Amino acid sequence: MPQDLSPLWISLKTSLLATFITFFVGIAAAYWMLSYRGKAKSLIESIFVAPLILPPTVVGFLLLLFFGKNGPVGKLMEPFDLTIVFTWYGAAIAATIVSFPLMYKTALGAFEQIDDNLLRVGRTLGASELQIFWRISLPLALPGILAATTLAFARALGEFGATLMLAGNIPGQTQTIPMAIYFAVEAGAMDEAWFWAIAIMVISLSGIFAVNFWQEVRGKGGCKDTRTRGQGRRLTKSYSLSAAASEVGLFVDIEKKLPSFHLQVSFSSNEQPLGLLGGSGAGKSMILRCIAGIETPTRGRIVLNGRVLFDSETGINVPSRDRRIGFLVQNYALFPNMTVAQNIAFGLPKGLSAGSVRLQVEEQLITMQLQGLGDRYPHQLSGGQQQRVGLARALASQPEALLLDEPFSALDTHLRSQLEQQMTETLADYQGVALFVTHNMDEAYRVCPNLLVLEHGQAVHHGSKYDIFEHPASVSVAQLTGCKNFSHAIIQHVQQVQAIDWDCYLEVLEPIPDKLSHVGIRAHQLIFSHDSSQTNTFPCWLVRTSETPHRMTLFLKLHTAPNNCQDYHLQAEVFKEKWVQIKDQPFPWYVRLDPLRLILMES
C-alpha cells in the first residue's frame, strides 16, 4: 500500500464534482434536445458527443488552448490572478468534458423511451411543463438517468489523457489514480500500480452494483400487490361543468396539411356523443389531437362552449393544459410510476385539500367499479381496469369535452361488450361534449346517436346514425357502414332503375336522386322467397359460402348458374338456423331485393 493516498482523494474529489456538474447539465441538455426541432440540431448533437469520439489528448489540447494563459478564459482570469491549468479544478473540468457525452446520450435515450402519450395526456389534464418533467418524465427516466450518472462517474474517475494535458501530473495536487498507475508502471513499482488498479475497479464496480441493486429492489417493490380491501356501492354521478358558457357545444373548422395527408373538416357537436367513423388514416385521431392542442392545425378555428381554443387568423392557440379537455388515448397512457389513486388524483383541479382529493378519488373508484384497487400500479391491472382508470382520470379533471380515441381497440370481445355498456352509461351522465373515435361500425352505432363519417381527411357524411345507415350519402359511406352489395345504376323510369352489375331492373319506392350512380342493399336484408312473382325477385344459384360462429355468408349468382367461385352478384347473410332450412333445396333459389331496403346513392 503506497504511503501517499492523495491520488485517491484527488480522483474522488474531481470525479464527484464532474459527475455533479454533468448530472444537471446533461439532463437539461437531453431534455432540451428531446423537443428541439431547429436546423442546427445535428450540429449541436455533434458538439455534445465530440469528446466521446475525439482522442482524450486532442480534447486535452483543445482545453489547454481554451483555458491556457493565452486562451480566452485564461485572459479573462489573468487580472484576478486565477488559473485553471495545473490545478485540481482543471482536472475536474477535463473530467466533466469527457464524461458529459455519456451522461447526455444515456439520459436522452431514457427520455426518448417515454411514451409521448403520457406527456400529451398530462398536458390535457392541466399540468404545466415543469410539473410534467418532475412528476412524469423524470421519475420514468430515473433508472436510465442513474445508469448515466454511474457511467459518467466511472468515465470521470478513469480520465487520463485530457487531465494530463490540462492539469498535469503534480503529486498531491493534480495526480489522479489513472496517472498514479501509469507512472507507477513506468517506474517499475508494480505493487503500487496493482493497488491503484484494484482501487479504481472497486470504486467503479461498486457504483454500478449499487445502481443495479437499487433497480432490482425497485422493480420488486413496484410489483408488490398492495390491494386494499373494501366494498362500496356504485354511484350514478352526473359530471357537471363548473363554467357556464353562452354557446354550448363544440365547433370545429380546421385544416391540417402534412406531406402525405390533408385534413379538412368542419362540424359541430352538442352534449350528445358524436362518433367519428372511418378507416385507418381517415384523420379521426388527428381531429382529436388538434382539439386537445397536441397538434396545431394549419389554419381554422376551434370553439368550445364559447371559448376560442384555436384561431389561426387572430393567433389564438390555447395550451393543452388550459383547454379543459379530457383525452383517453388508445393505450390509456396511465402513468406507470403512479398508483391508480395517484393517476386519478393527477387530473383533479389544483389546490384541493388532501381530504378533498381522497374523497373525489374514492368517488371515481366507486363509480368506475374499481373499489380496492387504488393502491395498485397500472401493470397490476387488467386491460379493462386500465381503461376504466384512464376514463376516471379524464373525468376527474372536470373537462368540458371528453375525447375517446378507440378506447376498446385493445380489449377482447367479451370485455369490450361489458365496457361498452358502462361507457354508454357514463356518457349518458356526462354533461359535456363527447367525441368517440372508432373504425368499428357496430361500436359507433351502439354508443353514439350522431356520426361523422371521414374518408381521406374529409367529412363525407354528418348526421344521425339512423340517417347515415339508412341513407348513406355515397358508396364509400355505405361501405364504412357495412354494406357489401353495390351495382352501378341508371334511371329507367320514375320508380325504376337498372342495376347494371346485377343485370336486372329494380322497382324502387324512394325518390331517385338526379345524379344516381349506384344502387345497394345490405347483405342481411336479402330475402329468400318461394314466390317468384313478387317485385324484385330473381332466380339465383349458390356460388360458395363463408362461415362465422352464428351466421353464414352466401355468395349468389343471379339468373344463371356460376362459372367459377368468383362469379357472383350478391352476398347474403343468414343465421345458421335459416341456412339449415334452405341449404338442401334445389336450384334455382329465389331472392327478393325489397324496394324499401334498396339504397340509392349519388356519385
**Best-predicted range by mean pLDDT (413-417, 436-440, 598-602):** 598-602
- Cα distance between residue 42 and residue 33, in whole Å: 10
Residues 257 and 375 reside in one and the same domain = yes
pLDDT for 242 beyond 90: no
Express as a percent the part of the chain with pLDDT over 70: 93
Q: From the DSSP assignment, how many helices (H) and strands (E) are in the chain?
A: 20, 21
| 522 and 578 share one domain | yes
For 35-49, 123-137, 228-242, 440-454, which range has the lowest pLDDT when averaged over its residues? 228-242
The percent of residues above 90 in pLDDT, for the chain, comes to: 46
Closest by CA to 342, choosing from 361, 325, 324, is 361
Residue at 444 is within a domain: yes
Same domain, 453 and 502: no
pLDDT at residue 246 tops 80 = no
Residue 235 has a pLDDT of 30
pLDDT at 220: 58
Contact 252, 287 (CB under 8 A): yes
Average pLDDT taken over every residue of the chain: 87
State whether 509 and 463 are in the same domain: no
pLDDT score recorded for residue 22: 95
Q: State how many domains the chain has.
A: 3
**Burial grade of 130 (CB within 10 A; 0-12, 13-18, 19 or more):** exposed
Determine, yes or no, domain membership for 237.
no
Do 65 and 211 lie in one domain? The reply is yes
Q: What's the pLDDT at 229?
A: 33
Of 96-100, 212-216, 302-306, 321-325, minimum mean pLDDT range: 212-216
Which whole number is the average pLDDT over 185-192?
85
Residues 499 and 419 in one domain: no
Whether residues 25 and 104 share a domain: the answer is: yes
Average pLDDT for 280-298: 92
Print the domain residue range for 35.
6-223
Domain identity same for 273 and 149: no
Q: What is the pLDDT of residues 540-599, one digit of tens each?
A: 999 999 998 889 999 999 999 999 999 999 999 999 999 999 999 999 999 999 999 999
Nearest to 433 by CA among 306, 316, 330: 306
Strands 433-438, 274-277: pairing is: parallel
- pTM for the full model? 0.74
Are 451 and 507 within one domain? Answer: no
1 pLDDT band (50/70/90 cuts)? low
- Residue 412's pLDDT is what? 66
We report the CATH number of the domain holding residue 212 as: 1.10.3720.10
Contacts of 405 (CB under 8 A, 6+ apart): 284, 285, 288, 327, 328, 329, 330, 437
* 205 shares its domain with 307: no
Task: Tell whether 506 and 423 lie within a shared domain.
Answer: no
pLDDT for 233 beyond 50: no
462 part of a folded domain: yes
**Across 62-66, 133-137, 244-248, 419-423, least confident range:** 244-248
Instruction: Say yes or no to pLDDT of 167 above 90.
Output: no
Side chain identity, residue 456: H
Mean pLDDT for 82-99 is 89
- Domain CATH code at residue 418: 3.40.50.300
Q: Is residue 67 part of a domain?
A: yes
Same domain, 527 and 432: no
